[in-house]
Amino acid sequence: MNATVGASAAGIAFVIILAVTVGTVRPRRYVTVAEFYVAARAVRPWWNGAAISSEFTSAAACLGLAGLIATHGAPMLWYPVGSAAGYVVILALVVAPLRRSGTYTLPDFAQWRLGSAALRRYATCHVLAIGLLYLVSQLHAAGVVLHLLTGLPPWTGWLTVSLVSVVVALAGGMCSVTSVQAVQYWLKLIVFAGVGLVLWYAWRYGAVGGPPEVAGAAAPAAGDSLAGAGDPSLPGVLTVLLACALGTMGLPHIVVRVYTNPDGRSARHSIVASQVLLGLFFLLPPLYGILGRVHVPGAHVDQVVLLLPGKMLPGPAGDVLTGLLAAGAFAAFLATSCGVLAAVGGAVSACVTRPSVASFRIAVAATAGAALTLTSLTTAGSSVLLVLLGFSLSAATFCPLLLLGIWWRRLTSAGVVAGFAVGGGLTVALVAGDLVGVKVGVVSQYPAPFAVPLSFAVMVVVSLLTPGRVPLEVDRMMAMMHLPDDLASPSEDRSSPVDDRS
């Protein structure tokens, strides 16, 4: 056990030192605050794609998904399809128009498109809620991992991830965050692929024993389903697919990525690169899920991956492999936490006060403090459940805002406020009721298929009832988002070079 603790501590320490070194050594200097927010738009497509993939492959993807596959079997294999569909929707409908709008965050877009400062503050509250869901899931997973592998209290994992993420985000803004995330994507891919192949080879070729059949895994524990997540039935799987496909575009740490490239064409190439890299990474959770279903049935979903080396290869080999997996897991926690903190900090600082690097840093620190507080007040559950709850909330709020705001000229601020209140409020109410035992039939089990269409419908109906709230310059804004750059007004501040026709 002492060897396992030592190997795990060494792996975690290596990742922390690597993140701090990459994120803080000679950070890039910026002329404007906008450049600080978006890395001066100097990130190349494949590097940006690796960063997007890294913050998307969070604790839920590295640990929770494999645990769900081990617990529930084949239906959980559909979950990565939702993320792939989400990036297709972003690529086809959102990337180019959103860049041309010149807005950096979701609240920025809401105010620019609908002319309402109050709506911007309202949208910022939802960005903060989604960001905190993501952060709390990462911190709880870090506490579970550190306690499992080293015996340290969970709060040490929460504090470690929070402090390192804040240091990286404050050092150089989005440039530092992007560098850390891209490096950690390749670290995670190499570690999880290498360890997984070693364990698979050891099992298939007789180095370890194991039952030949995988059907004898323990039954799922009660309470491991939330908002459709963890439900292996067809309605549960479809609910998660819908939430992921439509909720990806509303994640604050994903949308900001379309601005870190030099132009619209490279932004689209970044999304394509992220799809390729995510597809490569998502080959790994099924591998660990099958091994976990055989060798550690009944384990907590976030612990399945980390328990495998010690169960399958007890001794020095298992200790080394456990240390490598600990490093990969903490790379996942840090990559996602850095990205979320930078995105949410930018949105909050721009809403509360005049944008500046100082206000950004204060907002990042305050967001990290709020996440730590919420983590201390809640109990650890499956990381994938909290992340998919964030997807559901995003799908019922920001997805209708973006799609209608980009493609429908008659959208009004009153319609958006009503849609957010109905879609987001219904999602939160149903999930909260489910947690305390108050259920409304299938609606409580599968909120996304009901909340998302209702949010779209409410936004459309209320907008049609308030035609006087349509911005006077809506035609100019629609032209700005959809016309090629050389046909738009030369006085407009476009987010791409003049000769970019993406």
Q: How confident is the model at residue 212 (pLDDT cuts 50, 70, 90)?
A: very low
What percent of the chain stands above pLDDT 70? Answer: 87
Predicted local confidence at residue 493, as pLDDT: 41
Pairwise CA distance, residues 375 & 106, whole Å: 25
**The pLDDT of residue 487 is above 60:** no
Per-residue pLDDT, averaged over 78-106, amounts to: 83
**The pLDDT of residue 221 is above 50:** no
Predicted local confidence at residue 223, as pLDDT: 43
What percent of the chain stands above pLDDT 90? Answer: 27
Predicted local confidence at residue 458, as pLDDT: 96
Per-residue pLDDT, averaged over 275-288, amounts to: 89
Write the CB contacts of 307 (distance below 8 Å, at least 6 apart in sequence): 148, 292, 296, 299
**The pLDDT of residue 312 is above 80:** yes
Backbone dihedral angles phi then psi of residue 229, each to the nearest 5 degrees: -70, 135
Per-residue pLDDT, averaged over 398-427, amounts to: 94
Which is more confident, 104 or 371? 371
Closest CA to 368 of 397, 341, 405: 341
Predicted local confidence at residue 497, as pLDDT: 46
Please answer whether residues 400 and 456 qualify as being in contact, where contact means their C-beta atoms are separated by less than 8 angstroms. Answer: yes
Predicted local confidence at residue 490, as pLDDT: 40
Q: How confident is the model at residue 324 (pLDDT cuts 50, 70, 90)?
A: very high
Torsion sign over Cα 408, 93, 485, 413: positive
**The pLDDT of residue 222 is above 70:** no
Closest CA to 174 of 51, 293, 331: 51
Predicted local confidence at residue 128, as pLDDT: 92
Backbone dihedral angles phi then psi of residue 89, each to the nearest 5 degrees: -65, -45
In whole numbers, what is the pLDDT of the chain averaged over residues? 83
Per-residue pLDDT, averaged over 236-257, amounts to: 85
Pairwise CA distance, residues 364 & 482, whole Å: 33
**The pLDDT of residue 252 is above 70:** yes
Q: How confident is the model at residue 228 (pLDDT cuts 50, 70, 90)?
A: low
Q: How confident is the model at residue 211 (pLDDT cuts 50, 70, 90)?
A: very low
Q: How confident is the model at residue 224 (pLDDT cuts 50, 70, 90)?
A: low
Q: How confident is the model at residue 94 (pLDDT cuts 50, 70, 90)?
A: confident
**Residue 388 neighbours by CB distance under 10 Å:** 28
**The pLDDT of residue 297 is above 70:** yes
Predicted local confidence at residue 30, as pLDDT: 65
64-78, 355-369, 409-423 — which one is most confidently predicted on average? 409-423
Backbone dihedral angles phi then psi of residue 226, each to the nearest 5 degrees: -150, 125
User: How would DSSP label each residue in 139-191?
Assistant: HHHHHHHHHHHH---HHHHHHHHHHHHHHHHHHHHHHHHHHHHHHHHHHHHHH
User: How would DSSP label each residue in 15-39?
Assistant: HHHHHHHHHHSSPPP-SSHHHHHHG
pLDDT in tens, 328-344: 999 988 888 988 898 88
The residue with tokens 């494999």 is 66
**The pLDDT of residue 488 is above 70:** no
Predicted local confidence at residue 320, as pLDDT: 92
Segment among 177-191, 216-230, 326-340, 384-398 with least mean pLDDT = 216-230
Closest CA to 107 of 246, 262, 270, 255: 255
Pairwise CA distance, residues 481 & 496, whole Å: 11
Please answer whether residues 71 and 217 qualify as being in contact, where contact means their C-beta atoms are separated by less than 8 angstroms. Answer: yes
Angle of helix 2-24 relative to helix 154-204, nearest 10 degrees, comes to 110
pLDDT in tens, 428-474: 888 877 666 667 667 777 888 899 999 999 999 999 999 999 998 99
* Superfamily in which the 2-383 domain is placed by CATH: Sodium/glucose cotransporter (1.20.1730.10)
pLDDT in tens, 146-157: 888 888 899 999
DSSP secondary structure code for residue 250 in this structure: G
**The pLDDT of residue 98 is above 70:** yes
Segment among 114-128, 388-402, 434-448, 481-495 with least mean pLDDT = 481-495
Predicted local confidence at residue 1, as pLDDT: 55
Please answer whether residues 189 and 280 qualify as being in contact, where contact means their C-beta atoms are separated by less than 8 angstroms. Answer: yes
**The pLDDT of residue 499 is above 70:** no
Q: How confident is the model at residue 240 (pLDDT cuts 50, 70, 90)?
A: confident
Q: pTM of the entire structure?
A: 0.85
CA distances from 404 to 307, 407, 414 (A): 46, 5, 13
